[in-house]
Structure 1
Amino acid sequence: MFFRNIKQIFRSLWRHKSFTLINLLGLSIGIAAVVIIFLIVKHENSFDKFLGDRNSIYRVVTKQSREDKIEYEAETPYPTARFLRNEMASMPITQIHFSDNANVRIGNQDPFEEKNIIFADSLFFSVFDFSGIEKFWLKGNQAKALNAPRQAVLTATTAKRYFGDQDPLGQIIRIDNKVDVQVVGLIKDIPAATHLPITMLLSLGTLTTEFMGGLDPDNWNFTSNGYTYVRLQNINAVASVNSALAAIVKKYGAEERDRNKQMYLQPLSEVHFDTTFENSNPTYTVSKKYLTMLWLLGCFIVLIACVNYINLSTSQAFTKAKEVGVRKSIGASKGQLFLYYMQETVIVTLIAAIIGFVVAGLTLPYVNTILNKSLSFNQLIDLSFLSGALLALLVVSLLSGAYPALVLAGFNPITALKNQLNIPSKQSTLLRKGLVVFQFATSIALIICTIIIARQMDYFHQKKLGFNKEAVVEIPLPDSDSAKIESFRNALQTQAGIQNITFCLGAPVSDNGISVGLRAPQLPSNIEYTAKVIPCDKEYIKAYQMKLRAGRWFLSSEEKNIGSAVVVNTAMIKTLGYKKPEEAIGKIIELGLNNIRPIIIGVTEDFHTTSLHDEIKPVVLTPFPPFYYAAGIRMNPGNMHQILSKIEQAWKKIYPESVYTFSFIDDALATLYEQETKDYNLFKAFSVISIFICCIGLWGLITFIVVRKTKEIGIRKVLGSSVHSIVFLLSRDFIKLVALALLIASPIAWYFMNQWLQDFVYRIHISWWMFLMAGLVAMLIALVSISFQTVKAAKANPVKNLRTE
C-alpha cells in the first residue's frame, strides 16, 4: 500500500507539473536560504570553542566615566597583569599586545607583510588551553616558550611560507627592521573562528620602549592594543578578582582621575558578541540581536514558501474533487486521505530540501566572498544538525500540507463526484488572501529595510568628513627614520602629478592614533578627559585639505621642537570650555604623551576620525617625528596608475628591505562600514528571494483563477468588455492585497530600522517616500507577475472560452 501510494503521488506530481515546479522552486529556495543562514550563525557561535575549558577564561576590561558619559574599553595598561599577579599570586594571568601587521624579513629574502602578530608573556599557554586542537604543539618546548625576549612561535602555515620544508626551529627572523627574534616553537594553525587571530607569537619582552617608538609600555597611563586575560580555577572567584582589580586602580593609578576607572572581568564567551567593546577588539564583533534577526529572516522566507504551497494546494484541491470522491466511494476514510496527501507534501519537501542543499552549496563560495567568511558544508556534519534538519523538514511539511490535506479529506464524496462543490468557500478565500498579505507584508518590509540601509550607506559616502579624501593614497612606513623620510620626500615632490606629501601616524580616519589623557587648568581633576593625538608634519593640512577656524598651522621650527605646539579641533575647544576658537589660542594643555605641555596655536574645523557610529571627539595634531609611520600623498586625479608606479619605484630605492603596500583613503573608510555593507547585501539578497517566491506564488494563483473564470471572461468579452477592463478585473484583488500589505509592513519596518539607525550618531531620517517606493516596487512586481496570464486570458477567443467544459 505504501509503495503504491508513493507511485500514485509521483504520477500526480508529474500530471500537475507547473504547480509542482512552483512549489519546489519556492520551498527549495527558502530551504537554501535557511541553510546559508544556519552556516553563518553556527560559524559566529563557534568562536573560541576550540579552547579547552573556555568558560574559565576571562578578559579584563575597563569602564570609565569621561566628561558626561561612560566609555568602555577592552584595552588595558601593560602593567595590569603584573600588578594583578601581586594580588592573586596563584592565578594564571597573561598580558598580550596585538599587532595587526608588521614587516618580516628572513635573511636576504624579500620581506613579508605579516598580520595578526601577538606579543605574549610566558603564561599565555597557561591561560589559553589549546587542547581542543589535536596535537597542537608541533615542535619546541612549550614550557619554556616566550619566557625570554626575542623568542618567536610560528603557526604551521606561517613557517611554511617563510622556510618551506626546512626546520623552522632556531631560525632568525627580523621584525619591522628593528629586532631579530629566534623561532623556538611551532604550533598548528589557529581556527579562523576566534576573537584573537594568531599567525605568530613573540615574547612580550621583545616589546621594548624602542620598539614602541619611544613610548614606555610600563606606563600605567598608556594603552595601545594591550589586553589582559585571566584563567579562574573557580567560577566563584570572579568577585574576588574584580575586588583585586579595584585595589590595583586605587593603588597604582597615577592620577586622582584614574580612580574613576573601573576594571572588571568579561567572560571569554561574551567577547565576540559584546558590541560595547567592538571598537577595541582585535577582530570584528557581531551582536546576538543580529544573529536573531538572521534566523527570523530565514524563518519568514520559509514561511513565505509554505504560504505558496498552502495557497496553490488549496486552489488545486478543487481540481482533485473527483479523485477524492472516487477514493471515498471505494472505502478510503478521512484519516487515510489526510495521511495520503500529507505523504505528498513530505515527498515534495524532501525533494525541495535536496535541491535547496545543492543550491546552497553552489552559492556558498559567493556568500563567503560577499561576507568575507570561510563557511563550509563540513559544519553540517554532526548529529545535532541532522536531527534538527529532520525536525525542521517535518515542521515545514506540517505547515505546508496540513491545511490542504484537511480540505481535501473533508470533501463530501457525492458532491465531489457530481462536481457540485461550492468553491471556493468564503473561509478559504479569506485564508488565501490573508496568506498573500502575509507574503507581501514580509517582502515589502524587507524592501523598506533595504532602501533605508542603502540610504544610510549613501550617507556614509556623501557626508562631508572635514577633510578631502579624494585622490589620497596612504603608504605605511617601516620605520620613522628621519633621513629616509626626507629622502622619500625629495624623491617624490618633484614628480609630476603629486600635489602634496605628508608624513604622519595616519590619515584623519584610520586605526592609527594615540588615545591619551588630557588636562587643563580649567578642567576638573577628578574626571578623566581624553583626546586622540595624531602626530603629523607641516604638510598634513595641505595633503588632507583641512580648514582652520582660528590661529595657524605648524612652522618648521615647531617640528624640530617636539611637544611645543599643537593644533586642536573644534570639539576640543568645546571640551576645554571656550565659546570661540580664538579664545583657545595661546593656552597650554597637558597631554599624557610623554607628559608634554604644548601651547595651542590653531583650531581646525571638526573632522571625523572614526565611523559615523561615533560623535566627533577632541583631537590634537602635533609634530612628533618618532611616530611618522605613514605617508599621505595627494595626487592629481588623472593617470594615477602611472603616479603610483613612480611612488613604488622611489619606495624600493629607499626601503628595499620592506614590503610596499598602499591603500586609498576611500578603502580605509569602507572598512569602517563592513558590517553595514554585509547587512545591506543580506537584506538585498533576502528581498530578492522573498519577492521571487511571492511572484511564482502569484503566477500560480492567477493561473488557477484564470482557469476557473474562463467562461466568465468569455461572457464578458461577448458583452463588450475591453481587454483593459478584464485585466483590471483579474488584477484588482491582488492590488488591494499589496496595498494592505504595505499598511501592515510599514510600521513594523519603521520600528526595526529606527532601532538600527540609533547605532549611528550621524544618520539619515526615515522619510515617507521610502515606504511609498517599497509599495510601488512591490505593486509593480506583483502586476508583472500576473500580467502575462491576465492579458493572455483577456485576449483569448471568447467562443473558444464558452465551449470550455
Structure 2
Amino acid sequence: MIRNYIKIAFRNLQRNRLYSFINIAGLTIGMAACLLVATVVIDDLSYDKQWKNAANIYRIITIDNSNKNAVDKSSSSFTGLGPSLKANFPQVSSYCRMNSHESRFKLGADKDGIKITGLFAEQSVWDMLDFTVVLGNPKTHVAGYKNLVITEKISNQYFGNADPIGKTIYDIPEYGKPAAYIITGVIKDIPSNTNLRADMLVLDDHNAEYNQLNKGEFGSFTQQYIMLKPGTSVAAFTNNVNNWYKQFIQGKKAGFTYEFQPITDVYLKSDFAAYQRVQGKMSNVYIFGGVAILLLLIACINFINLTTARALKRIAEVGIRKVLGAGKADLVAQFLFESIMFFFIAFAFGIFIYSVLLKPLESYLGYTLTLTLANNITMFSAICGVVLLISLLVGLYPALLLSGRLPVSSLKGSTGTQSGSGVLRKVLVVMQFSISVAVLICTIVVQKQLSFINNKDLGYDKNNLLRIDETSWGTKGDAFKQEVLKITGVQNASISTWYPSGGGGSMSTMVDDPHQKNSKLKITYIKADLDLAATLKLQLQKGRFLSSKFGSDAINADSLMEKDMAKLEEAQKVQPVLVTAYTANALDIKELNKKLISGSGLPVGIIKDFNNESLKIAMSPTFIMAGTKLNYGSMLVRVSPGTEKQILTQINELWKRFFPDKVFEYGWVNDLLQNQYKTELKLQQLFTLFSFLIAFLACIGLLGLATFTAEQRIKEIGIRKVLGASVTSITTLLTSDFVKLVLIAIVVASPLAWLGMNKWLQTYAYRIKPDISFVLIAGLIALVTALVAVSYQTIKAAIANPAKSLRSE
C-alpha cells in the first residue's frame, strides 16, 4: 500500500511540474527562513539556563525611591550589600560580585596588546557557575596576584601546545600602572548564551572596606549576584531584606529598596540597564517569533490554496478509485501522504539552505548561536515532529475535500464543493497579503524612526567631531591638548569626563522639584575643561559662557578631592555652571549669578537644549561645570572637513610621544551616536528582508492561483475574444478579483500594524508621528507587487488564440 502511495505521489509531482515547483519552492523558502529565525529565538530564550544552580541565582537590583514620578532601577548595588546579605540571612548560600568587560592584555608580540573580554569576579563564582576545569587548580586562589583563568579558545590561540599554567602576564590599563596576572587554570569555553559572556575569568580578593555597607547610603556600586537556598520564597525574602535595610540605616527614610532578578531573566528583561554589555529584548523575541510563524503560515497557505485549486483536476481520479473499491480512509491516507512528501522534500532543501546561511547569520549577529539544529539532536527531532504535524494538519483539508465526494458526481466532473474551497482560498489570500502589508508598514515605520534619529538636531554639531577614548592624562593632558590644537585643521579641543553616547554625565544628584511638592529632580553634571561649549558648538541663549577670564569658573576638583573634601563641596556650591534652557525651566531659574536653593552650582549662562543622552531617554536637568588639570576623561577634537585622515595620523604620532605605553583608541562621534541604535538598525534590516520574503511567498502563491484561474477560464476567455473583447478588458477581468483581495488585505492589516508600531514607538522619548502616507505606501507596494505577480499569466491568457481554446470540449 505504501509503495502504491509513493508511486501515485511521485506521478502527480512529475505530471504537475509547475505547481509542484511552486509548492516546494514556497515551502522551502518559508521553512528555511522560519528555521533560521526560530534558532535565534530559541537561543535567546536559553540564556543562562545552562547553569546547574540557575533556578536559585539572582541579580541584586537597586530601586532609587527619590523620584516619585518614575521608577529608577539600576542593575548595580552597593559593593557591601552582598556580604551583608550573606551575613544576615541564612537563606543566602553565596554571593558574587561579577561583571564582564573588555581589557587589554599583553599576550603576544603586539605591543598594543590584545583586547579580551573578561568576567571580573571573586572566588565565590565557583559556587554559583559550573565551569569545567581542563587544566590547573583555579579554585585555589594564589595570593599576591590577580588570578586569571583562561578558556581553551584563548589557550589554543595564544599558547598553542605550551602549558600556560603559572605564567604571568600584564594588562595595559587605561590609567595607572600595569597589573600582574597569574594564569591558574584553563576551563572549557564559556557558552555564548549567557549575559556574562567572556573568554577568561579574572579573579580577585577584595579588601575589608570594599565589603562594608555604609549606613549613610553612599559608596561604590557594582553588579552582584546572590544564590539562595532551594525552596526559598523570593517574595518573602525581598520583603525581609527591605525591612532589614530600613533598620540598618538607623530609622532614616530609605533612599533605596531592592529587588532580586532571576539570572535567567537578565538577558531579555533588563531594559532599565542602559549599558549592559550583553543584552537582548523580550519584545524582539515576540517580534521574531511572530515572524517565524508568519513565514511558515504563508508557505502553508500557498500549499492549501494550490492543492484545493488543483482538486478539480483530480475529481475524475477520485471517482474511478472509489468505483474500483477505494475507501474514504484510503483516499485520505493517499492525499496526506502526498502532503507529507511535499513537506519533507521542502524540509530537506530548507535544511540545506539553513546550514549554508547559519554562519553568515552568526557573523551578522556578532556571536555564536549555542543551540542550533546542527548541534542539538533534541531540537532537530522536535523540528522534524513539528514538520510532520504541520504537514498532516495542512494536508487534512484538501484530503477531506477530495475524498468526501460521491463517485457519480466525481465521474461527472461536478464541482459542487468547489465554491466552499473557493471562499477559503480568498480568505487565505487576504490573510497572506494582510501579513505582507503589516510587515511593510512596520518596515517603513522603523526606517522613518531611524532616519529621524540620525537627522534630529541634537543641540550640538556631531559632524567632524573626534573622540579620543577615556584615559588617565596624569600631568600631560593640557600639554597634549595644546599640541593637538597646533595641528592644521584642528578647530577646537576639550578634555571631558562626558562624551556623546557615553551616558548623561559624569555624576548626578537629586534636588527638590520646585514645581511639585515632595518630589525630586535628578540633576546630571557634565564636567569638562573650559573649551567644551566651543568644541561642541553649543548655542548661548542668555548670560555668558564659562571662560578663563573668570578665575573661579574652573576649579581643580581632583586635587581638592585628595586634600580636603569639605573645601571641594563648598567650592562646588558656588562654582559657575552652564545650564540648559530645559534645566532653567525645570528648576525655576529666573536669575543668573544667583546661588541655587538646592544643588551645587551658580548658573551664569543658559544654553540651547541639547541631547546628552540617547533619544530613547527624555531630556533631564543638566549642568556643565569646568575643571582644570583633569586627570581622567576623553578628549573631543573638532576638525575641519576633509582633514580627518591627516589629523588622525598626526594625533597618533603625538600620542606615541606623550603616552608611549598606551594604545591610541578613538572614534568619530557620528559613528558612536549611530552605534547607540544598532539594534534598531538591525531590526530595520531584518524587517526589510522579512517583508521581501513574505511578499515573495505571497506572490508565488498568487502566481499559481492566477495560472490555475487562467486555465479554468480559458474557454470563457476564448468566447469573450470571439465576441469582440479586447486584451485590456480581459486582463482587467482576470486581475480584478485579485486586486479586490489585496485591497481588503490593506484594510485589515493597517489598523493592526498601526497599533503595534505606535506601541513600539513609545520606547522612544523622541519619535515620529506615523501618518496615513505610511499605509498608502505599503498598500501601493503590495498592490503593484500582486499585479506584477499575476500580470504575466493574465496577459498570456488574454492574447492566446481563441481558436485553440475552443477547438474541442
Q: Which residue of structure 1 aligns with residue 594 of structure 2?
A: 586
Asked if the contact 1:80/1:95 (under 8 Å) is kept, the reply is no
The alpha-carbon distance between structure 1 residues 475 and 301, as it changes in their structure 2 partners (threshold 3 A), is same
Change in CA separation of 1:754 and 1:523 when aligned onto 2, cut-off 3 Å: closer
Partner of 1:263: 258
Q: What residue in structure 2 maps to residue 453 of structure 1?
A: 446
Matching residue of 1:633: 637
| Distance change >3 Å, CA 59–CA 721, structure 1 → 2 | same
Q: 1:13 to 1:179 in 2, by over 3 A?
A: same
Tell me how far apart the structure 1 counterparts of residues 297 and 791 of structure 2 sit (CA, whole Å).
25
Q: Return the match for 2:395 from 401, 409, 423.
A: 401
Match of 2:561 in 1: none
SS state of the match for residue 594, structure 2?
coil
Separation of aligned partners in 2, 1:28 and 1:732 = 30
Shift of 1:612: 2.0
CA offset at residue 766 of structure 1? 1.7
The alpha-carbon distance between structure 1 residues 198 and 461, as it changes in their structure 2 partners (threshold 3 A), is same
Q: Which moved more, 1:386-395 or 1:242-251?
A: 242-251
2:508 is aligned with 1:516: yes
Matched, 1:606 2:617: no
Quote the Cα distance in structure 2 between the aligned partners of 1:504 and 1:41: 41
Q: 2:431 aligns with which of 438, 444, 459?
A: 438
Indicate yes or no: 2:230 matched with 1:230: no
Q: Secondary structure at the match of 1:721?
A: coil
Residue equivalent to 2:269: 274
Query: Is 1:246 matched up with 2:242?
Result: yes
Equivalent position amino acid for 1:443 in 2: S
- CA spacing shift, 1:521–1:429, aligned 2, 3 Å: closer
Residue 580 (structure 2) pairs with residue 555 (structure 1):
no
Q: Who is 2:97 aligned against?
A: 96
Task: Kindly provide the amino acid, as one letter, of the partner of residue 14 in structure 1.
Answer: Q
> In the alignment, does 2:472 pair up with 1:463?
no
Does the 8 Å contact 2:267/2:280 carry over to 1? yes
Give SS of 1:264's match.
Answer: strand
Matches for 1:123-522 after TM superposition, within 5 Å: 123-126=124-127, 128-130=128-130, 133=131, 135-136=132-133, 138-144=135-141, 150-158=146-154, 165=162, 167-176=164-173, 177-188=176-187, 189-203=189-203, 226-236=222-232, 238-239=234-235, 241-243=237-239, 245-247=241-243, 249-250=245-246, 259-287=254-282, 289-375=283-369, 378-379=372-373, 381-418=375-412, 420-422=413-415, 425-483=418-476, 485-511=477-503, 513-519=505-511
Distance 1:160 1:491, change over 3 A: farther
Deviates more, 1:361-370 or 1:613-622: 361-370
CA positional deviation for 1:337 = 1.1
Q: CA deviation at 1:701?
A: 0.7
Local SS of the residue matching 1:235: coil
Letter in structure 2 aligned against 1:230: I
| 1:549-584 CA distance string (max 9 Å, x none) | 333333334334434333233343344233x4xx25
CA contact (8 A) 1:466 1:605 kept: yes
Provide the residue aligned with 1:56 in structure 2: 56
Specify every segment of 5 or more residues in structure 1 that has no aligned partner in the other structure, as ranges: 592-596
| Identical columns (%) | 29
Corresponding residue for 2:651?
647
Unpaired segments of 5 or more residues in structure 2? Answer: 558-571
Give the whole-Å Cα distance in 2 for the aligned partners of 1:539 and 1:166: 52
Q: CA shift at 1:23, angstroms?
A: 0.3
Distance in 2, Cα, partners of 1:220 & 1:686: 54
Alpha-carbon deviation of 1:673? 1.7
- Contact residue 83 and residue 248 of structure 1 kept, 8 A: no
Letter in 1 for 2:51: L
Partner of residue 594, structure 1: none
Output one character per residue of 1:601-641: Cα deviation in whole Å (capped at 9) or x when no partner: 33332222322221012223223454532111222221422
Does structure 2 retain, via aligned residues, the 8 Å contact 1:260–1:528? no
Q: Deviations over 1:637-695 (max 9, x none)?
A: 21422332222222222222222222122222223223222322222222111111111
Q: Tell me the distance in 2 between the aligned counterparts of 1:505 and 1:161.
A: 36
Contact kept, 8 Å, 1:60 with 1:74, in 2: the verdict is yes
Q: Deviations over 1:481-501 (max 9, x none)?
A: 131x23422332122222221
Contact kept in structure 2, 1:101 and 1:114, CA below 8 Å: yes
**1:2-21 pair list within 5 angstroms:** 2-21=2-21
The structure-2 alpha-carbon separation of the partners of 1:191 and 1:255, relative to structure 1 and needing over 3 Å to count, comes to farther
Partner of 2:560: none
The structure-2 alpha-carbon separation of the partners of 1:431 and 1:759, relative to structure 1 and needing over 3 Å to count, comes to same
Question: Which shows bigger deviation, 689-698 or 457-466?
Answer: 457-466
Residue 56 of structure 2 aligns with an amino acid whose one-letter code is S
Q: CA deviation at 1:99?
A: 6.2
Out of 690, 710, 714, which is 1:686 matched to? 690
Residues 327 and 585 (structure 1), Cα distance of their counterparts in 2 relative to 1, 3 Å cut: farther
How much does 1:423 deviate? 6.5
Aligned match of 2:579? 568
- Listed one character per residue, the Cα deviations across residues 164-205 of structure 1 (whole Å, up to 9, x for unaligned) are 645252404134143423315234232211112334444555
Kindly tell me: are residues 318 and 174 of structure 1, through their superposed partners in 2, closer, same or farther at Cα, counting changes over 3 Å?
closer
What CA distance in whole angstroms lies between the structure 2 residues aligned with 1:160 and 1:491?
43
Give 1:22 deviation, angstroms.
0.3
Aligned partner of 2:434: which letter?
A
For 2:566, the equivalent position in structure 1 comes to none
- The equivalent residue for 1:741 is 745
Contact 2:528 2:624 in 1 (8 A): yes
Distance 1:393 1:788, change over 3 A: same
Residue pair 2:97, 2:122 contacting (<8 A) in 1 also: yes
Q: Which residue of 2 aligns with 1:81?
A: 82
Q: Secondary structure at the match of 1:623?
A: strand
Deviation at 1:321, TM superposition (A): 2.3
Counterpart-to-counterpart distance in 2, 1:340 and 1:424 = 20
- Supply the distance in 1 between the matched residues of 2:756 and 2:498 (Cα, whole angstroms): 36
Change (3 A) 1:101 1:555: farther
Ranges of 4+ aligned residues in structure 1 off by more than 6 Å: 206-209, 216-220, 520-526
Name the CA shift for 1:539/1:571 in 2 (closer, same or farther; >3 Å).
same
User: Could you tell which deviates more after superposition, 662-671 or 305-314?
Assistant: 662-671
Counterpart residue identity of residue 696, structure 1: I
> Residues of 1 paired with 2:519 and 2:409: CA distance?
85
- Residue 541 of structure 1 and its aligned partner are, at CA, apart by 1.2
Is contact 1:98-1:225 (8 Å) kept? no
Letter in 1 for 2:454: H
Is the CA contact 1:103–1:658 (under 8 Å) kept in the aligned structure 2?
no
1:190-246 Cα deviation digits (max 9, x unpaired)? 22111123344445557999xx9xxx9989766776112111114325356435542
TM-score (normalised: structure 2): 0.89
CA contact (8 A) 2:217 2:255 kept: no
Mapped to 2, the partners of 1:6 and 1:464 lie a distance apart of 66
Deviation at 1:156, TM superposition (A): 4.2
Does the 8 Å contact 1:711/1:804 carry over to 2? no
Paired positions, count: 783
Q: In angstroms, what is the RMSD of aligned CA positions?
A: 3.1
SS where residue 500 of structure 2 aligns? coil
| Aligned twin of 2:533 | 541
Q: In structure 2, how many angstroms separate the alpha carbons of the residues matched to 1:179 and 1:519?
A: 40
Q: Is the 8 A contact 1:43 1:193 kept in 2?
A: yes
| 8 Å contact kept, 2:69–2:519 | no
